[in-house]
Structure formats: C-alpha cells, structure tokens
Amino acid sequence: MDIKEFIIKEEIGEVLCNEELKKHTSYKVGGSCNYFVTPSSIDKLIILLKYIKNNNIKYKIIGNGSNVIFSSKNYDGIIISLSKIDDLIIEGNHVKVGAGHLLVKLSNICASKGLTGLEFASGIPGNVGGAIYMNAGAYKSDMSNVLKTVTYLDDELNLVTLKKEELDFSYRHSVFQENNFVILEATLELQEGNKEEIMNLINDRRKRRMESQPLEYPSAGSVFRNPSDTIFSGKLIEDLGLKGYQIGGAKVSEKHANFIINYDNATAEDIVNLINLIKEKVKKEYDIDLKVEQEIVNFGE
C-alpha cells in the first residue's frame, strides 16, 4: 500500500500529490512536495505520524506557512498542514484553541467578546501553533503573556499538557525549538475589557501597519530578531543603506528594512541569498550576528 492509498483508506484527510509549496507559504515561493496532507483531526494526525515513523518517511509539519522558506527543490516526503486542527472554545476569560487556528482571526474573535490581552497578535499572520513555537509577539507583549497551558505530542507520540512555566519561554524562544514536539492546542487566559476600546486599539494598529509595512507584497513579516531591547534590526539594515537592495526578485522593503518582499517573482534562493548578504554586512559593520526568524527548509540537503 503506497502513502496515498494509506491516507485514503484511513480517512486521514485531504491529500494532494506533487503540490506546489508556494501555494502554502506567505512568501509565495518553494518547490513541490510529494504529498501535502491536511489531517481532519488530532486522532487522524496521530495515525499518520505513526505510519510515517514506522516507514521512516521524511516529513515536515507546517501551520500557515508564514514563517517558513522552502527551497525550489522538490521536498521528497510529506508536508503536513495543521490548518484543520482549529477548534475553538471560549468559556469566560479562558480560551481553548487548536494549533491550526489563525492568530489574527483568534485576536478578532476575542476582541469581539470583550476579552483583552491578544491585541498584540492582531497583525501576526501565523497560526496559534507557530506563534507558540516562536513565542511570537509585538508591542512589548508575546504569547507567553497570555498562555496558560500547551498540549503537544512528544517524540513517542504521547499527548502531554504542560503549564507555560515549564516550556522555557523567552524572547522569540520556546522549548519546542529544541525538540521535535508537535503543538496541538493551547489554553489562553485573557482579561475582561471594554470591547470598544479593544477594537479601537486593534484598528489603530492595523492603520499603523498599513502605513509602515509592505503588506501589498508577499513576505513573512520581520526577517530578523532584534538583537536587544534598544538595538533594532530594521535600523541596522537601513543605516547600511540596504533599503531597496535587490537580489533577483527579492527586495529589502523601502517601507521597513526588516522586511524582505517577493517583489518580482522571486525564488526561495533569491530570498535566502538576500538574507545571507544582510547578515554578512551587519556582522562586518557592527559585529552583530542577526538571528533569522524564518525557518529555512530543504536547502543544502
């Protein structure tokens, strides 16, 4: 029985063969993959992962594709999307949400119910699982500020639930970055607030993003982490005169220097080459090693 037959027989979910990954990434770049699978539930995901591990099949789990750069080469394995693992239950100020739920959508739903704490996430284009993995944040807040617990699959595919204090959160970091765990769902603890004030804050920040970020082009948000609370990657890049610098179809945004945009049919390699050039120039000029926020996959393998 081949992979597709197994997925259909076990009713795992949607399966696409030789799927182009640029359809599933915010940069709109990347080669194809042998199979692109969207499990319909956590139980079906576990069945698929057991099959993958038993048959030693290469795989990669993605969320909204907003923080990953796949090379133009074929990915010889299975890409798993968690977009259907998106259940949402709100009880009082506690929010139980699946890893595949879009963060922007969640922020708006919570705001509409008068729950405050997630306003910072109203412009982050990932899903809940990816945001927890990266401890995504903005406006001096991040996921660890609202998290209560996270449920995930460990290396042996056991379901584990831990409190946020046990998950080693820090700036753009969590324990998940050092392990091959699969985030499934989280419980958030928000606060009751004034619905009108919450929505006004979200709308004001949306206006500011439209003015300061190149949202009209495919990108993956901020490329580099800030080296410190007082040193900003965008300022370093801008001071080097790199705004507008272009390699192939990839370009440093003229609106915000910490954004690389797919300006003109860029390839994944154009983007990565531009990232590496920026890193080299910043290192040479400031002796600072910029850390990339995006995950670079299927390069040099």
- Measured CA to CA, the distance from residue 74 to residue 66 in angstroms comes to 19
- Measured CA to CA, the distance from residue 36 to residue 101 in angstroms comes to 18
pLDDT in tens, 21-74: 999 999 999 999 999 999 999 999 999 999 999 999 999 999 889 889 999 999
Strand 147-153 to strand 88-91: parallel, antiparallel, or no bridges (unpaired)? unpaired
Pick the catalytic residue from 32, 219, 222, 233: 222
Pick the catalytic residue from 41, 172, 209, 238: 172
Pick the catalytic residue from 83, 107, 185, 293: 293
DSSP-assigned letters across all residues of 3-52: HHHHHHHTT-EEEEEEEEGGGGSTT----EEEEEEEESSHHHHHHHHHHH
Active site residue 172: yes
pLDDT of residue 123: 85
Domains and CATH numbers, the chain: 3-81 (3.30.43.10), 88-196 (3.30.465.10), 214-297 (3.90.78.10)
pLDDT in tens, 253-281: 999 999 999 999 999 999 999 999 999 99
Active site residue 293: yes
How many Cα neighbours within 13 Å face the side chain of 251? 14
Residue corresponding to tokens 């801008």: 238
Q: Residue 192: helix, strand or coil by DSSP?
A: strand
DSSP-assigned letters across all residues of 46-75: HHHHHHHHHTT--EEEESSSSSEEE-SS-E
| Confidence band, pLDDT 50/70/90 cuts, at residue 301 | low
pLDDT in tens, 87-134: 999 999 999 999 999 999 999 999 999 999 999 988 888 899 999 999
pLDDT of residue 171: 87
Q: Is residue 205 pLDDT above 90, yes or no?
A: no
Which of 28, 27, 1, 33 has the alpha carbon at shortest distance from 15? 33
Active site residue 156: no
